[in-house]
Structure 1
Amino acid sequence: MRHPSEHDPDSRSVIDPRNHEVSAAIVRDLGLSDADVDEIIDLFEALRRWRRTSDAQRDASRHHMRLGENDMRAIRYLMSAGRRGSTITSTMLAEHLGLQGSSVTKLLDRLERAGHIRREPHPSDRRALSIVVTDSTRATASSSVGADHLRRFMVAAAMPSEERQVVSRFLTALADLPVVDHAEDAAGE
């Protein structure tokens, strides 16, 4: 499958607000110049490229470690908690992943069979078990996923503080937009 690139004019035209009935009027009403609109398109193209790259990197890491999406999320959470010295139970993991207890039990059984985690006695609650990532999985994850995270961190660290703050405000504003269920909108008409 061909992915549009930042050099693909069709990719840009799809997100150009001047090519859409609803947003073309807003561009005029806001008094945005063509240069302003082109900068905004560049910004959204950069976000699209980042999302594709991030998805591809995540998929490559999961493939390398032979893990599903929730499996990888569980390993990352367990490793982070372990570095902080926190003890994690299956209930805590279920809450973090937003899964039912039975689904987490199956996930943990699968990870344990594959040698990624161990269930150990809880240090302060003899009725519970703690979940711990094995040393081999920790080493594999650190050398792959951890190295990728470090590369992204270094890009952010190289930016001046003011630029990081601008990017953070922008991404936070996008993330804070409400999710609109357009199926509900259409049903209400």
Structure 2
Amino acid sequence: MVPESEPAEPIELSMLDPRVLDPHQEIVRRAGLGDDEVDQVVRVLAGLRSWRETEQRLSEASRRYMKLGETDMRALRFVIAAQHRGDIATPGAIAAHLGISSASTTKVLDRLTEGGHVRRLPHRSDRRSLAIEVTEETRLAAQRTVGRSHARRFEAAARLSPQEREIVTRFLNDLAGTGEED
């Protein structure tokens, strides 16, 4: 019996390879790219997938640790950022940032208040509004989880040369534009 040879590349990578997924170039055009260049593009895509999976795991772990949903975490990050800038976070500003109704914002703030994450205080200059502040315990928890993760991402980007950062920025912006309809 002849032993089967090992595949040339791991299965996971092949699922990103247009030579496997689209061998007849019906969707992905590879004209002018040699196999080495296609291999390099596939490694870039694999790196993006790996980062996305890591980011999702970290985000999920932070939400579980803080016992919050995605919208609640986004609201909390907004309030923390507002406090760092010296701004007052109001329910209206939170609603605008999240793109949700005032009723939905009230529910988010109810959950965050009940969880001990934020306080509703009278606005210092607008009697009709509230000021939303993050509690010290939640600020420290966010700093330990989300803050440290962000610091590592910042350090990775800072290690790039200015030219590399421009290239990566252009690439990521181009990639973000691929989600738009033609």
Q: Which residue of 1 aligns with 2:150?
A: 149
TM-score for the superposition, normalised by structure 2: 0.89
Corresponding residue SS for 1:162: helix
Matches within 5 A, 1:45-64: 45-64=46-65
Superposed CA offset, 1:1-39 (max 9, x none): xxxxxx972222222112203146x21xx2210001000
Q: Which residue of 2 aligns with 1:159?
A: 160
Alpha-carbon offset, residue 177 of structure 1: 2.5
Matches within 5 A, 1:25-36: 26-27=29-30, 30-36=31-37
Counterpart of 1:123 in structure 2: which amino acid? Answer: R
Q: Which residue of 1 aligns with 2:3?
A: none
Aligned residues: 172
Corresponding residue SS for 1:123: coil
Alpha-carbon offset, residue 179 of structure 1: 2.8
Let me know the Cα RMSD of the aligned residues.
1.7
Structure 1 stretches of 4+ moved >6 Å: none
Alpha-carbon offset, residue 176 of structure 1: 1.8
Q: Which residue of 2 aligns with 1:137?
A: 138
Matches within 5 A, 1:42-81: 42-81=43-82
Q: Which residue of 1 aligns with 2:172?
A: 171
Q: Distance in 1 between matches of 2:80 and 2:138?
A: 10
The runs of 5 or more residues in structure 2 that have no matched partner are 1-7
Larger fraction in helix: 1
Matches within 5 A, 1:103-118: 103-118=104-119
Q: Distance in 2 between matches of 1:10 and 1:79?
A: 42
Q: Aligned in 2, Cα 1:144/1:178: closer, same or farther, shift over 3 Å?
A: closer
The runs of 5 or more residues in structure 1 that have no matched partner are 1-6, 182-189
Corresponding residue SS for 2:52: helix
Corresponding residue SS for 2:100: coil
Corresponding residue SS for 2:15: helix
Counterpart of 2:90 in structure 1: which amino acid? Answer: T
Alpha-carbon offset, residue 178 of structure 1: 4.5
Corresponding residue SS for 1:99: coil
Q: Distance in 2 between matches of 1:69 and 1:97?
A: 11
Q: Distance in 2 between matches of 1:144 and 1:44?
A: 27
Superposed CA offset, 1:138-183 (max 9, x none): 11111221111111111111111111111110000111234349xx
